[in-house]
Structure 1
């Protein structure tokens, strides 16, 4: 690769003559694909590809799923880039002991890294290998979390730490928080401690109480993810002290409703909203099969709720939707509800009642809403059109095509029959969306996805068709 003069007669310079310091600055401006193409040009440029500065500000994603390709790519990245990366994301299967051994090696390397800023753990399942009650597995997990403490102590620039709902972290979370409290309280900006409790054995884990005093020293914290059992009035009050960075995002996981948990008073939430005007509360309800009365213990009227996501709760009802419409009309931005597909689909509202559909009212009342997903519940085709008309600023609307229904009146054999309020017969046609409705959707300013998904042991394969 050479440069010629204007007459193309004499060689002026070769590209390889550029100093490495110049090449590094150029390469840092390239996209991922351009960087790969440039590294295959010559030996010198290939060496620049492995320079620590090239990877210090890029997020290194390691995937450990016990497949030959995944493990091969993981080992290549770990050996060449892990020690120099400031941003590390680890996606893994926590139920495999061989994978846990690989994680142990990752932490051994990170224990020597002094420039780590972000460590994100993303287990692909909330299942725990400790359920097998194998002593070698327990010992390995103890060694992993002991190394993780070393990583925290060594990483003086650590700003983000996420345990990704890793079940094993429940056994060591108090010790890890203590280390963070002592060493990283001035630098930590984002901390994710929430868990998912989806079986009886997880529920039997002895409770670990994180008090408000544990979080008080984190003066730079602006994002926090915790379980609802740790959400107390004292915890909220420690986040609007004048000498600390304002908390901007609070993520609360609700997997159980304990009778000994006292609901937060509305006056406290009102004070929090006044002192933290930019605070957004995100609530995730997971496998929470409870009545609306218990939901209201968490969803307080003065809470600045921006996102509500309900997964496999089987309890969406008119009372819940009306409650959201009344109390969060100025804050709610996203509502996601996902449940199993049943035959017929789950129902949140009787289509034959004279009252308006509560989802349509929700779209009308909540002026800030930009995302709406309802999967597993039957919804009338005309109501989808009404939502589109009322909220044209929606960016995303996800519904299950198998749950979209149209109503027709009269007698028809081999159809699903219902009886309306006047005693007349009506039949329901599921999964049908006429061309007129699709043309209306095409003219709106947001994306609508008709989702067809299948559920096997709560692992979803999702197909999107526009």
Structure 2
């Protein structure tokens, strides 16, 4: 074949098969050789999954890709800048095209913010932008033959449309939907409205394995619906976002969690507390010994509930795998949770957590003081299995002798010469604390937008 001009005469099925083995860059280079190869570039089998990036510098590329593949692609992630009108419009246009795609199986939104900028298509049009998003999602739910994954991207206003979207999912996707993310991020966690969540529609999704939901709607009725034995598939992961906690919110009994675990033995629970002082203060009202807590995240909650950390160490040691706590500092002065200790001989709660939780692999504590010996202790206790150990240098305290031999003082950000080496030896890789430059602006400035410090983590929960 190399000696003859027969490459252009290859059957299309062979050309497509060749292209399927190439990376996207090599595929584009190969199809620039001739028109026949170029015509095979957008064969449906080559575009089962697309990650649209709707940003200023890539909007035209996303538009072209949507025009060519929007009606047959199966797995779609739409990443867009939700604070720029033109990008929001293009995202809506992509969703409208997907509404005609009967083969769509997975859809995940990845906005740059939990809020979407209001846009008007016509000067006389006043329909809310989130209503347009909801309309597109409704059409997608109705027309897709086997939708398996749906994520609203933590968008607060879209979460408020759950009372419309859930009945449609129960009607059209009850035998296919496996993953549903309706959890949100609240712009004002201290004041927001609640909707009537149609719990029975959630229960009718008998193949549902992963559910993301706000704590406002976590009730005994909801959990008991997943505890029945007639479900086709078991619940594997429950992701709960905690914001404000309404006075009188039902406290889930331990027996309810026990029933859930008995019927769903592999279920894992992720708790995300987001700007939730209520959640941090009342964490012991949320936690129960039978709750299979796997991941605990606290983002800008203004305090650490030491009693709750100790409770987790005692009752959830066989489940817990990660702890991530991030908070802002005033004038770069780390916050302290030591003040709640009964006496100076009390062990650091996170050291006890690392000792008892044998599956702990990720630990992040940003914005709070931690003694250098305690950081070393955590590294030694979990060793090489500790894949992530994130503590800022400016938050690490060390004891320094004062001029008076009977007193001692604390210094921040100054550790001994062998501190990094000791931790590196324990975790089996080179380790350094987080520098000031690496800290997110919201950690250093309480007035900065904190959303960018955690939104990517929350959206990663919702990826497929």
Same structural fold, with TM-score higher than 0.5 when normalized by the shorter chain: yes
Given that 1:291 and 1:315 are in contact with CA atoms closer than 8 Å, whether structure 2 keeps it comes out as no
Query: Which of 313, 318, 324 lines up with 2:306 in the alignment?
Result: 318
Tell whether 2:264 aligns with 1:276. yes
Q: Secondary structure at the match of 2:433?
A: strand
- Where in structure 2 are the equivalents of 1:422-437 lying within 5 Å? 424-428=407-411, 430-437=412-419
For 1:221, the equivalent position in structure 2 comes to 208
Q: Greater shift after overlay, 74-83 or 231-240?
A: 74-83
For 2:376, the equivalent position in structure 1 comes to 385
Q: Secondary structure at the match of 1:203?
A: coil
Q: TM-score, normalised by structure 2?
A: 0.87
For 2:392, the equivalent position in structure 1 comes to 400
Could you give the per-residue CA deviations for residues 70-104 of structure 1, whole angstroms, max 9, x where no partner exists?
Answer: 32222222222222211111122334443332233
Tell whether 2:365 aligns with 1:374. yes
Segments of structure 2 that go 5 or more residues without pairing to the other structure are 443-447, 455-464
Once residues 91 and 154 of structure 1 are traced to their aligned partners in structure 2, the CA distance between those partners, rounded to angstroms, is 22
Tell whether 2:51 aligns with 1:51. no
Given that 1:329 and 1:365 are in contact with CA atoms closer than 8 Å, whether structure 2 keeps it comes out as yes
Given that 1:395 and 1:446 are in contact with CA atoms closer than 8 Å, whether structure 2 keeps it comes out as no
- Where in structure 2 are the equivalents of 1:75-224 lying within 5 Å? 75-129=63-117, 136=125, 138-199=127-188, 203-205=191-193, 207-224=194-211
RMSD (CA atoms): 2.7
Q: Secondary structure at the match of 1:268?
A: helix
Shift of 1:23: 2.1
Aligned in 2, Cα 1:293/1:104: closer, same or farther, shift over 3 Å? Answer: closer
Tell whether 2:218 aligns with 1:236. no
Shift of 1:433: 4.1
Given that 1:364 and 1:391 are in contact with CA atoms closer than 8 Å, whether structure 2 keeps it comes out as yes
Given that 1:395 and 1:445 are in contact with CA atoms closer than 8 Å, whether structure 2 keeps it comes out as no
Shift of 1:317: 3.7
Given that 1:329 and 1:367 are in contact with CA atoms closer than 8 Å, whether structure 2 keeps it comes out as yes
Q: Secondary structure at the match of 1:290?
A: helix
Given that 2:273 and 2:280 are in contact with CA atoms closer than 8 Å, whether structure 1 keeps it comes out as no
For 1:38, the equivalent position in structure 2 comes to 30
For 1:333, the equivalent position in structure 2 comes to 321
Aligned in 2, Cα 1:139/1:319: closer, same or farther, shift over 3 Å? Answer: closer
Once residues 80 and 155 of structure 1 are traced to their aligned partners in structure 2, the CA distance between those partners, rounded to angstroms, is 18
Could you give the per-residue CA deviations for residues 286-344 of structure 1, whole angstroms, max 9, x where no partner exists?
Answer: 01113755111212221000001100001114223212211111111111001113332
Q: Secondary structure at the match of 1:216?
A: helix
Higher Rg: 1
Shift of 1:209: 2.0
Equivalenced residues, count: 437
Once residues 187 and 243 of structure 2 are traced to their aligned partners in structure 1, the CA distance between those partners, rounded to angstroms, is 7
Aligned in 2, Cα 1:250/1:433: closer, same or farther, shift over 3 Å? Answer: same
Q: Greater shift after overlay, 364-373 or 17-26?
A: 17-26
Could you give the per-residue CA deviations for residues 105-134 of structure 1, whole angstroms, max 9, x where no partner exists?
Answer: 1122112101100111122112354699x9
Q: Secondary structure at the match of 2:150?
A: strand
Q: Secondary structure at the match of 1:157?
A: coil
Once residues 253 and 459 of structure 1 are traced to their aligned partners in structure 2, the CA distance between those partners, rounded to angstroms, is 14
Given that 2:59 and 2:87 are in contact with CA atoms closer than 8 Å, whether structure 1 keeps it comes out as no
Once residues 240 and 135 of structure 1 are traced to their aligned partners in structure 2, the CA distance between those partners, rounded to angstroms, is 50
Aligned in 2, Cα 1:26/1:433: closer, same or farther, shift over 3 Å? Answer: farther
For 2:422, the equivalent position in structure 1 comes to 440
